[in-house]
Every structure is written in structure tokens, then in C-alpha cells.
Amino acid sequence: MPSTEQDPLSLSPPSDEFVQLFTRTQRRLYLTILSQVPRPDDAEEILQNANVVIWSKCRQFQSGTNFFAWAARIAALEVLKFRQRHARDRLQFSDEFVRTVVDRLEEESPQFDLRKKALTRCLTKLRSDDRKLIQLRYASGSRGKFVAESLGRPANSVYQSLGRIRRSLLECIERQLKSTPETV
């Protein structure tokens, strides 16, 4: 649910710079939100809510300041609102956990791009069946259990396969990072 019910017809178009910054920070914003919720699926909804607010406040953003920091503050508020709204029906991470994780994410964020490149290479190294399974899992915006249904495999076996593949991707990423000059 968008947290504002502002009539979109009244929105004034944002500047090109704003659109560009907005687009470029979407992924990182998503990761930040993702780290704070026990249900990964909720991250999409929160991102959407945050985007509605970010967009509606485009006039408040001052060119030249740190867009991501500004957007992340809005996102943090949206995470909070989401948690309040779902205080009963969702598990929640503790405040301490969220703080710790967000700080660490920030700390490690300079590595994200390298890690993503490594991931791209590692995906090519997967056995083709494994790659297909991973693609099926993520391409459809799906979840393990739906993948299991569509493959006609028991859910647990699909969970196991996905876990094995994700762990091997992580190991591969770590290996790749070690072998790049920056980390030697």
C-alpha cells in the first residue's frame, strides 16, 4: 500500500537529474530495504511505498546533495511504517539487528559492484541445469515452492538444490574477489 494517497495528477514532473539519480539508486535502495526484513518478498512492497514518497517529494531534493542518503532515509521510514502496520502478522528483526546490518551494508557497499561482476562470472560457470534452476527461481519473481510446483519436484528437494547453488555462487564470488588484484 502506498503510504500517501496523494492524487498523482497533481504531481509535477521531476527534473531529468532527479529521474536519473532515482533510477540509478533503485538497486541499492532495494538491497538496503531487503536487509531489514525477515520476509524478502516484503522488500518489494516497501520499495514501492518508498518510491511513491520519493517521487512525491522530488521538489524537496536539493541538487548536489547525496541522493542515496536522502532516499535511504525515506526508505528507512517506510520500513518502520511497514513494521508498525504488520506488527502482528509478520516476524520482525530487532532494532539492534536492523541498525547493525544497515551499517555493515553501508560499509561493504563499495564492494557491491565487484561482487556483482563476480556473480555474473560465477553464473556462467554453473552447470547448465543449475543455472536454469536459478533462472527459473528468480526470473519469474517466483519462489522456491512455486518453482518446485512448476517443475513437479518436491519443494524440499528444490530448496536443497537452490541452497546448494547459492552457496556455491557465494564461494565462487569469494574466490573471484580474492583473485582480483585489489584484494591480493
Binders of other proteins among residues 99 to 128 (CB under 8 A) are 100-101, 104-105, 108-110, 112-117, 119-121, 123-124, 128
Q: Does 51 bind other proteins (CB under 8 A)?
A: yes
Q: Which of 17, 85, 97, 179 binds other proteins (CB under 8 A)?
A: 97
Instruction: Give the Cα separation of 17 and 100 in Å (integer).
Output: 32
The only residue of 24, 76, 77, 181 in contact with other proteins, by rule CB under 8 A: 24
How close are the terminal C-alpha atoms of the chain, in Å? 47
- Spatial separation of the C-alpha atoms in residues 116 and 176, rounded to whole Å: 11
Residue 73 or 178: which CB sits closer to other proteins? 178
Q: Does 179 bind other proteins (CB under 8 A)?
A: no
Separation of alpha carbons 162 and 153, rounded Å: 12
Per residue in 119-149, is it b (16+ CB within 10 Å) or e — as a string?
A: eeebeeebeeebeebbebbeeeeebbeebbe
Determine which residue in the list 13, 72, 73, 168 makes contact with other proteins, applying CB under 8 A: 13
Shortest approach of other proteins to residue 76 CB, angstroms? 15
In the bound complex, what is the minimum distance in angstroms from residue 81's beta carbon to other proteins? Answer: 14
